[in-house]
Amino acid sequence: MSNTVRTRFAPSPTGYMHVGNLRTALYAYLLAKKNHGSFILRIEDTDQERYVEGAVDIIYNTLRQAGLNWDEGPDVGGPVGPYIQSERMGMFKKYAEQLVESGHAYYCFCDKDRLTELREIQQASGIPPMYDGHCRNLSKEEVQEKLDAGIPYVIRQKCPREGTTSFEDAVFGTITVDNSTLDDQILIKTDGMPTYNFANVVDDHTMGITHVIRGNEYLSSTPKYNLLYQAFGWDIPVYIHCPPVMKDATHKLSKRNGDASFEDLIAKGYLTEAVVNYIALLGWAPKGENEIFTLEELAQEFDVAGISKSPAIFDTQKLKAINGAYIRKLSVEEFLEKALPYIRQTCKREDIDLKLLAQMLQPRTELFTDIPDQVDFIDALPDYDVEMYRHKKMKTNPENSLVSLKELLPALDAVDEGDWNLEKIHEVCFEVIGKLGVKNGVVLWPLRTAISGKQFTPGGGIDLAEILGKKETIARMKDGIARLEAAAGAQG
């Protein structure tokens, strides 16, 4: 008996991991790490009908990618294995029979038809539907008789009928229920397999789990869990029930009709660190005012006292903002490495200064998937309207833009191909600005417009000219002049 904290994440392999699941795993991981304890992964696959091929790998991959490495689990082993519930099947029935012996459980031979009928009658008369205890007090002889006759049976928990049961939850406080509302739930199914609820209790105990972190959909069955722990004489773990993560005010997040799975978010251009950071904040608040944390920092900061009682709505805007913050923290090299595939989606040109491009892109990127649209003008000048030259704040219009471009063109054309760099272009542009005696924007806005053909660009005219190179810059300026002249001709 050690006092080390042991937490577990116990998913069912029934599909993808959505962020709500991942958050539960994250909290379990953080709590263990904060206390220098162990984080255990257990696969709960007692329901063969819902088993989805490949789901276990998704669980492994997601947790690993998020950095939630488990200390014990199916693949890494550990002292209290096996860590796959279906491989532990032998033990559960024994425990259930032990409960029958001690009077905390009983054999039930009711078939499904009777139970369905019972439920219908109860519902029709407005009584809460629950098992009526038909087999609750069968004598030993009666039970043996039916057993010998080979009648299928289940084992049910015998809950007290009177009094109340209370338990403590670290998030929700003390919760008390009337025992009369507790159903005699099934522990062992007809097929001899344990139900989730029973397997969970036995597994958590035999694996030495000290803190049970799970969604609050289990809040109302917790009293029955505790009755089980008490019947066995086992220590009750600390319960930490987490509120759900919502898609909107009334709907839980679900990957069915959305995109809430971790892998989708990564595919959409989010950084894993940002996603992990964000979901930590969904339903939990750190003590101080900072909210950007690495996984290690989270493990330090984490405190169950900060877990909220009410559901949290998944907010893509905030996730994006956090993602942007993480992107800005990257070095230019790291940023470029991650951004390059996205740049290459629309910008195939090989002869550009990628580092310079990365520098311009980095503060303007919240999501990597924003990038292709931002750099698509590099390969080919988009078609655009001359009205784009009109900008109130820049004090430009098609007319004075034409003047500026005509003045700038020969000046830039005179620059040696080998001298084509930021400093030089800057120098030439400002000479022209000085010569014309106009505001900077009057020359630079037309330049930017002519060579990008876009309303918004990641960088100003000088930056873009450098990126594009002399040849392309000159060609696009000529194109711009032609467009402006054509428009002027058409008008006058």
- Per-position DSSP letters for 306-356, written without gaps between them: GB-SS-EE--HHHHHHHHHHHHHHS-HHHHHHHHHHHHHHH---SSS-HHH
Rounded to 5°, angle at Cα 42 from 74 and 198: 135
Answer yes or no: 255 catalytic. Answer: yes
User: How distant is the alpha carbon of residue 183 from its chain centre?
Assistant: 35
- Please, what is the minimum distance in Å from the beta carbon of residue 397 to RNA? 15
- Which listed residue (80, 143, 170, 177) binds RNA by CB under 7 A? 177
Q: At its nearest, how many Å lie between RNA and the CB of residue 155?
A: 10
Q: How far is the CB of 408 from RNA (least distance, A)?
A: 12
Q: Considering only residues 139, 393, 414, 492, which one is a binding residue for RNA as defined by CB under 7 A?
A: 393
Q: Sketch the per residue contact string, 226 through 265, with RNA: x for CB under 7 A, - otherwise.
A: -----------------xx-x--xxxx-------------
Tell me the pairing of strands 211-215 and 238-242: parallel
CB of residue 492 to RNA, shortest distance in Å: 27
CA 69 to chain CA mean position, Å: 16
Q: Does 339 bind RNA (CB under 7 A)?
A: no
Residue from 76, 121, 147, 305 in contact with RNA (CB under 7 A):
305
Q: Which of residues 400-429 bind RNA (CB under 7 A)?
A: 426
Answer yes or no whether residue 441 interacts with RNA by CB under 7 A. Answer: yes
Residue 110 contacts RNA per CB under 7 A? yes
CB of 230 to RNA, least distance (A): 19
- Contact pick of 284, 293, 342, 389 for RNA (by CB under 7 A): 284
**Cβ nearer to RNA, comparing 462 with 481:** 462
218 contacts RNA (rule: CB under 7 A): yes
Contact pick of 35, 93, 196, 399 for RNA (by CB under 7 A):
196
Helix (H, G, I), strand (E, B) or coil at 477: helix
Backbone torsion region of residue 36, taken as left when φ is above 0, otherwise alpha when ψ lies between -120 and 50, otherwise beta: left
Q: Is 337 in the site for RNA (CB under 7 A)?
A: no
Q: Taking Cα atoms as reference points, which of 39, 53, 43, 55 lies closest to residue 88?
A: 43
**What does 359-389 look like in DSSP terms, one character per residue?**
HHHGGG-SSGGGHHHHHTTTTSPPP--GGGG
Beta-carbon contacts of 132 under 8 Å, excluding residues fewer than 6 positions away, are: 118
Catalytic choice (33, 158, 224, 255) = 255
- Phi then psi for 108, rounded to 5 degrees? -130, 130
Examine residue 456 and tell whether it contacts RNA (CB under 7 A). Answer: yes
Q: Which stretch binds RNA (CB under 7 A): 203-211, 231-239, 400-408, 440-448?
A: 440-448
Residue 37 or 42 with smaller CB distance to RNA? 42
Query: Closest separation between CB of residue 444 and RNA, Å?
Result: 3
Regarding 190 and contact with RNA (CB under 7 A), the answer is yes
Cα separation, 130 vs 128, whole angstroms: 6
Report whether 249 contacts 276 (CB < 8 A). no
Decide if residue 203 touches RNA (CB under 7 A): no
Q: Does 340 bind RNA (CB under 7 A)?
A: no
Q: Which is nearer to RNA, 98 or 190 (CB)?
A: 190
The β-bridge relationship of strands 186-188 and 154-157 is: antiparallel
Contact flag: residue 480 with RNA (CB under 7 A): no
> Residue 284 pairs with which residues in a beta bridge?
307
Using the contact rule CB under 7 A, the part of the chain among 133-141, 257-265, 438-446, 477-485 near RNA is 438-446
Scanning residues 49 to 78, which ones bind RNA (CB under 7 A)?
Answer: 50
**Closest separation in Å from C-beta 303 to RNA:** 10
Name the residue nearer to RNA (CB basis): 31 or 37: 31
Q: How far apart are CA 222 and CA 217, in angstroms?
A: 10
Total Cβ atoms within 10 A of residue 463? 20
Angle at 101 between CA 95 and CA 106, to 5 degrees: 85
Q: Are strands 173-178 and 38-41 parallel, antiparallel or unpaired?
A: unpaired
Query: Binding to RNA by residue 395, rule CB under 7 A?
Result: no
Among residues 2, 139, 257, 317, the one that binds RNA under rule CB under 7 A: 317
Q: What is the 3-state secondary structure (H, E, C) of 127-160?
A: CCCCCCCCCCCCCHHHHHHHHHCCCCCEEEECCC
Q: Which of 448, 470, 476, 483 binds RNA (CB under 7 A)?
A: 448
What region does 423 belong to: left with phi over 0, alpha with psi -120 to 50, or beta? alpha
Q: Given the structure tokens 């980095």, which residue do they identify?
A: 362
User: Applying CB under 7 A, what is the total number of residues that bind RNA?
Assistant: 91
- Position 38 contacts RNA (CB under 7 A): no
Q: Is 15 in the site for RNA (CB under 7 A)?
A: no
Active site members? 255
